[in-house]
Amino acid sequence: MIETTATLGLTEDKVQTVLATAVRAPSLHNTQPWIFHTDPQTIELRADPDRWLRAADPTGRELRIGCGAALFNLRLGLLGAGVKPLVTVLPEPGDPDLIARVRRGGNRRLTPEERLLLEAVPRRHTNRRPFADAPVATADRHALRRAALDEGAWLEMITDPVQRTTLSALARRAHELQTADPEFVAELDRWTGHGEPRTDGVPATSGGPLPWPSAAWVMRDFTGGGGAQGHGYEPDPLIAVLTVHADGPREDIRAGEAMQRVLLTATVRGLAVSFLSQLVEVPEVRTEMRRLLNRLRPPEVVLRIGHGHPVPATPRRPLDEVLDTEAERER
């Protein structure tokens, strides 16, 4: 059992439960780029620059999105412990790695909806495998949009055939640009498709089968989990784009919180989700996608949503690797 500091009026055991919830967030290639600092009055969430993937994410935008997802889980975990979280995002202008500082803002119980989201945290897994060729119900689409709105973001479902065709072509272009970059390929190989025991990255068992070369949507992050090339993925998945009000670190964190609420809502409703990250990682493609959708809001996350079979969880680092207590800092 690791040693933690009682904080926000919680016992050490409850602090560990809260942090174990926080770290179940998704991140680019499951890098888990976060560190938590605790003292009796605060929990700080920090970005871990040593886990910044500079080839895929040169601006650190996806790192901040992952930290935002962890922040949403942290908020849920605190509510589950009866604590109303008082969150200050980017509290120190001179310390950009300090994502958020959380204090106790009183007592509050989970709402019934929040309880369902909290219970979904350990069940939420990125599903890189083929989905059933079945539509997502209208009620489910409304619930996902509302989840994004609840966190100050917007989730746009891409249903127009012309937009979908163009977006698929942009995804292919981004994929080809990335796979032509030796640094990107080396970074991808370091973090995905491995077979040895690790506490981070995407293991081969969490991958899906290699898609057809002409696949319309699935092109990346689907390695090692399903044998030889030539497997057909669903031809018409629901594609959704999460947008926020503006570019910048604060909005990246907001996007991460909204993304996680959407993902947990999808889990509650029995839906499977994976990411089409290349569309927002290649700058010129992201710009063209924004122009295609004719939106002032910048796209932050692109999701593939459907109905899929359960998949195994990706590993998580133990808390002693991501936790820095006040006592440890004083030693």
The tens digit of pLDDT for each residue in 252-273 reads: 999 999 999 999 999 999 999 9
152 with 271, same domain: the answer is yes
119 with 61, same domain: the answer is yes
Instruction: Looking at 101-248, list the stretches that DSSP marks H as alpha helix, in order from N- to C-terminal side.
Output: 112-120, 138-150, 161-179, 182-191
What is the predicted pLDDT for the residue at 215?
73
117 with 159, same domain: the answer is no
92 with 228, same domain: the answer is no
Tell me the pLDDT band of 168, cut-offs 50, 70 and 90: very high
Q: Which of 23-37, 176-190, 217-231, 286-300 shows the lowest per-residue confidence on average (mean pLDDT)?
A: 217-231
**Which tens digit of pLDDT belongs to each residue from 95-127?**
999 999 999 999 999 999 999 999 999 999 999
**Which tens digit of pLDDT belongs to each residue from 114-164?**
999 999 999 999 999 999 989 999 999 999 999 999 999 999 999 999 999
Is residue 128 one of the residues assigned to a domain? no
Tell me the pLDDT band of 223, cut-offs 50, 70 and 90: low
**pLDDT mean over 169-184:** 95
Burial class (CB in 10 A: 0-12, 13-18, 19+), 59: middle
**pLDDT mean over 55-63:** 97
115 with 248, same domain: the answer is no
Domain that holds residue 42: 12-123+318-330
184 with 299, same domain: the answer is yes
Query: Which of the pair, 6 or 313, is modelled with greater confidence?
Result: 313
Residue 192 is which amino acid? T
**pLDDT mean over 56-70:** 98
How many domains would you assign to the chain? 2
Report d(CA 23, CA 278) in Å as an integer.
24
198 with 248, same domain: the answer is yes
Going by C-alpha positions, the residue among 135, 155, 112, 69 that lies closest to residue 268 is 112
Residue 237 is which amino acid? P
Q: Which residue has the tokens 């089968």?
A: 209
267 with 147, same domain: the answer is yes
261 with 179, same domain: the answer is yes
Indicate the average pLDDT of the chain.
92
**Sequence-distant (≥ 6) Cβ neighbours of residue 184 within 8 angstroms:** 55, 56, 178
Report d(CA 235, CA 215) in Å as an integer.
8
Is residue 224 one of the residues assigned to a domain? yes
295 with 166, same domain: the answer is yes
Report d(CA 169, CA 194) in Å as an integer.
29
Residue 293 is which amino acid? L
Residue 75: give its domain's CATH number: 3.40.109.10
What is the predicted pLDDT for the residue at 55?
97
Is residue 80 one of the residues assigned to a domain? yes
Q: Which two tokens stand for residue 33?
A: 């780029």
86 with 210, same domain: the answer is no
pTM (2 d.p.): 0.94
What is the predicted pLDDT for the residue at 230?
47
